[in-house]
A and B are shown apart, each in its own frame.
Chain A
Amino acid sequence: MPLHPIKGGVHPEGHKAQTNAAPIARLPLPARLFVPLAQHIGLPAEACVREGQQVKKGELIGSAQGSVSAAVHAPTSGTVLAIAPYTAPHPSGLPLLTVVIDPDGKDEWADLHTPRDPFDLMPEEIAARLAAAGIVGMGGATFPAAVKLSTAVQKHVDTLIINGGECEPYLTCDDRLMRERADQIIDGVRILLHAIGHGRALIAVEDNKPEAIDALRAAARGFDPIEIVPVPSLYPMGSEKQLIFALLGREVPAGALPAQLGVTVQNVATAAAVSEAIRHGRPLLSRVITVGGAVRVPQNVEALIGTPMQALIDFCGGFTEPPARLIMGGPMMGHVVPNMQVPVVKGSSGLLALTARDLPETKARPCIRCGSCVQACPCGLMPLEMAARIRQDDFKGAAAYGVTDCISCGSCAYVCPSHIPLVQYFNHAKGHLALEHARERQAAEIRALTEAKKLRQAREAEAKRARALAAKQAREKAAASEKTP
């Protein structure tokens, strides 16, 4: 199919050969599991087990709250040791409520939903089962899959895009998954297609993964609505908005959802998890994560959710040299891991040990307005102008230059010859603007309530006056009638 060139983008060195050749290894059961109750976008799940309680593998330990949330399950059988705050793999490094499980080593399954033929299920049932299985977007955004699917069904989406771009350097977990579990991915795609009722699926894979493309093509043979589309290897091709444009030539309007264009996007690992959940009734308990960088045996590892990063590093033979920075996710958009006890969560695509040589210069030089950032930005923004305004705390000015349209891909900072931490500037501004927006909304609500109260009081006063007048008139009338016998 004809592709559409995306704007900007960069070509960072791939470093994929480090891990893309070896098969996915399975991590042995770790000594302890730390399962955070908030591993997704939306409200944290609420613990539904007690300390000391025995749990089976796949048993619900945290139930979803509100409309956007995801369930959390016990990754293995064992005892709940504690439900307490632990440092989470989150950019803030703040502690999150975490269920600590002491595995009993039996890995005993709970009673699972008896699966039915997925193609007999109604879309709502599929969404309900995905919700019950705690499936979230596994590309890193961790948006609850069931919520996305329900929106897609509601908006009559007819194009399902499966994101196998994996444009971040180092990461090969999706690549290995596509090579080794293509059938499972295609099965998940078919189930999702069945759920949205009609339409086609486009599985986009960057053309630097020919083996994955071949494996998917072989697995998709005979399923006409599924097309495997090789896309150019260009960062950030795997970004939802950019991928939609590359495939369809259409842009998601600012502030709108892809579903409004009739499109929904899911990651390949999410598709595999969908198959697991719907075919076998198994909730999301593990994921494949690329352990790379300065480790002895860099490789892809399938690890249980809640596995401490330390266990992954130990399994991969330890560090070849002390890393300067540990990253969860890819090196372009990943977050710094605050310490080695932080667990693998549903959105952990990579654990990278980067050395001082890999890291960018930390001392920023003045902006020389070279415009490299303008050329690199896939969103058509002018990062240098936004940064100049944010430096002056002019967040409104930065917003006028479109800072809220920034996807934080980091292409601008990657090319900046002055090593200005542009993404940091933009995140700072976005935080400020979000806070201001919330305050403004609050103020507007208070204003509206105050107005309403005033109106009500005026109305009541008016009614009181009218009543008093009527009573007076009635009294006068009565008095008058008394006088005239």
Chain B
Amino acid sequence: MTAPHLVSGPHLAGGRTLHGIMLQVCLALLPATLFGVGLFGWPALNLLLITVASALAFEALALRLAGKPLFPDLGDGSALVTALLLALSLPPWAPWWIGVLGGGFAIVLGKQIFGGLGQNPFNPAMLARVVLLIAFPVELTQWATPHPLFAAGSPGFLEGLQITFMGVPNVDAVSGATLLGHVKTELGRGVELSAALGHYDATQALLGMKGGSLGETSALLILLGGLYLLARRIITWHIPVAMLAAIALPATVMHWIDPLHHAGALYHLLTGGVMLGAFFIATDYVTSPSSPAGQVIYGAACGLLVWIIRSFGGFPEGVAFAVLLMNGATPLIDHWVRPRIYGRDRKGQPLTVAREKRS
């Protein structure tokens, strides 16, 4: 605008900013992050820092290659959120190069080649996680058992560096399958559900004292973060509620029909990446629909896909795949599912003038 008086209203702003939103998301992830680092010790912290540093470095590199200024883009917190979500979904003792490659895949393949923030069709963190899982299945399925920070038998700072940069000595002694993976394998070889579950305890799953991804083990802390986002109106209820309901519903029905082979709703909701997925990943603004009705459809489809992949697919966990598949459907949903415009019907035709006589 050349002439200042041609500025349209509003001449006030609501005070919400892009980096403010990103910081709130980081804040909401903080409890689960701290818990994950506490539960898996120094190697987990190393992986987290490496992933974040890598994402920021690749963001800077991509901006430089595109001939854009580094700021404000680098400081808007979006790369930080992406890196954080990716790190929280990785095996906690994964080697350093997983973090470096993951950060690179997420930022370069996931976001910048599409034109940067707001242009990417797929959730960058989940895209990177799936690329890593397919390319490096061994490293991505080695789950360290809990080795709390400063606890006896846990790696110290130097041992932590060794694990991150030189690899885990005596892998089998310090790792095991995740609950989802174990149950999948056991069911696959004909063991009944109750036996496969072993001494699984829902309370423990809720609190998160178990093996799993860096920041996904404590369903409770992630739920708290999610409720914080809801309270601050960073997200709305539509996607998380629809997604959780669409997992719980088929799980409950199938558990009732065939309790020997299908776990119930609580098991599905409290294990793996469901909580993180429902509140933090499926709700990614850029890759989810923007109308409330569209969000319900999208969330429900995500949830249903998670349950289907877990129950009938080849992988024990399906959150990343489900979200990516539905990311692909988002433009379609946004095209077909729009709010009704004032004064028009659902098809966009003007309402007919129905004059009601007052008596």
- A residues near B (Cβ < 8 Å) are 7, 10, 12-13, 91-93, 158-159, 169, 199-200, 241, 245, 250-256, 260-262, 325, 327, 331-338, 352, 354, 358-361, 365-372, 374-375, 377-382, 384-385, 400-402, 405, 408, 410, 413-419, 421, 423-424, 427
Contacts and interface: CB of A to CB of B under 8 A. Distances in A.
A358 B10 CA distance: 11
Interface in B61-116: 72, 76, 78, 116
B13 interface: yes
A388 to B, nearest CB: 10
Given A260-B355, A367-B118, A415 B14 contact: yes
B9 interface: yes
B342 A379 contact: yes
Nearest to A421: B8
B334 interface: yes
B11 A359 contact: yes
A327 B11 contact: yes
Contact of B351 (A254, A375, A379, A400): A254
A332 B9 CA distance: 5
Interface stretch (B125-133, B284-292, B309-317): B284-292
Interface residues of B, number: 50
A432 B223 CA distance: 48
B230 interface: no
Contact of A424 (B8, B236, B339, B352): B8
B338 A423 contact: no
Nearest to A380: B339
B346 to A, nearest CB: 10
Given A261-B353, A367-B118, A423 B11 contact: no
B341 A369 contact: no
Contacts of A377: 339
A352 B21 CA distance: 30
Contacts of B236: 375
Contact of B12 (A158, A199, A332): A332
Contact of B9 (A331, A361, A405, A417): A331
Given A253-B343, A337-B5, A358 B12 contact: yes
Interface string B1-44: 10111111111111011101100000000000000000000000
B358 interface: yes
**10 A-B pairs with the lowest CB-CB distances in the bound complex, closest first:** A360-B13, A410-B10, A371-B290, A254-B350, A253-B351, A336-B5, A254-B343, A366-B118, A380-B339, A424-B8
B232 interface: no
A354 B341 contact: no
Interface string B124-154: 0000000000000000000000000000000
A91 B119 CA distance: 34
Contact of A261 (B285, B288, B355): B355
Nearest to A239: B342
Given A255-B350, A365-B72, A421-B8, A12 B14 contact: yes
Contacts of B18: 365, 368, 417-418
Contacts of A368: 18, 21, 78, 117-118, 285-286
Nearest to A366: B118
A382 B339 CA distance: 8
Given A253-B353, A405-B341, A12 B6 contact: no
Contact of B10 (A245, A360, A378): A360
A405 B342 contact: yes
A393 to B, nearest CB: 17
Contacts of B14: 10, 12, 414-416
Contact of B342 (A200, A251, A338): A251
B340 interface: yes
Nearest to A342: B5
Contacts of B288: 369
A241 B12 contact: no
Nearest to A376: B14
A363 to B, nearest CB: 8
A199 B352 contact: no
5 contacts: A253-B343, A336-B5, A358-B12, A360-B11, A380-B342
Contacts of A400: 348
Nearest to A263: B355
Nearest to B20: A417
- What's the dominant secondary structure at chain A's contact region? loop
A281 B355 CA distance: 35
Contacts of B339: 7, 374, 377, 380-382
Contacts, number: 188
A405 B339 CA distance: 13
Contacts of B117: 365-366, 368
B10 A333 contact: yes
Nearest to B290: A371
Contacts of A91: 5-6, 8
B241 to A, nearest CB: 16
Given A261-B355, A417-B16, A424-B8, A402 B21 contact: no
B7 A381 contact: no
Given A254-B342, A374-B290, A418-B18, 11 more contacts: A91-B8, A251-B342, A261-B353, A334-B11, A335-B9, A354-B12, A381-B339, A382-B338, A416-B13, A417-B16, A419-B17
B323 to A, nearest CB: 15
Contacts of A359: 11-13
B10 A369 contact: no
Given A261-B353, A370-B21, A371-B285, A385 B7 contact: no
Q: Which of B12, B78, B357 has the most chain A CB atoms closer than 10 A to its own CB?
A: B12
B344 A405 contact: yes
A400 to B, nearest CB: 8
Given A374-B339, A402-B344, A253 B352 contact: yes
A414 B72 CA distance: 21
Contact of A417 (B7, B21, B352): B21
A10 B14 CA distance: 9
Given A371-B285, A380-B340, A423 B8 contact: yes
A333 B358 contact: no
Nearest to B351: A253
A336 B8 CA distance: 8
Contact of B13 (A255, A414, A423): A414
Contacts of B6: 91-93, 336
Interface string B165-189: 0000000000000000000000000
Nearest to B285: A370
A255 B351 CA distance: 10
B12 A371 contact: no
A253 B348 CA distance: 11
A358 to B, nearest CB: 6
Contacts of A158: 357-358
B290 A369 contact: yes
B5 to A, nearest CB: 4
Contacts of A380: 339-342
B13 A419 contact: yes
A444 B332 CA distance: 36
Contacts of B343: 241, 251-256, 405
B211 to A, nearest CB: 34
A150 B309 CA distance: 66
Nearest to A329: B9
A374 B12 contact: no
A371 B236 CA distance: 10
B344 A360 contact: no
A332 B7 CA distance: 12
Given A253-B351, A405-B342, A325 B4 contact: yes
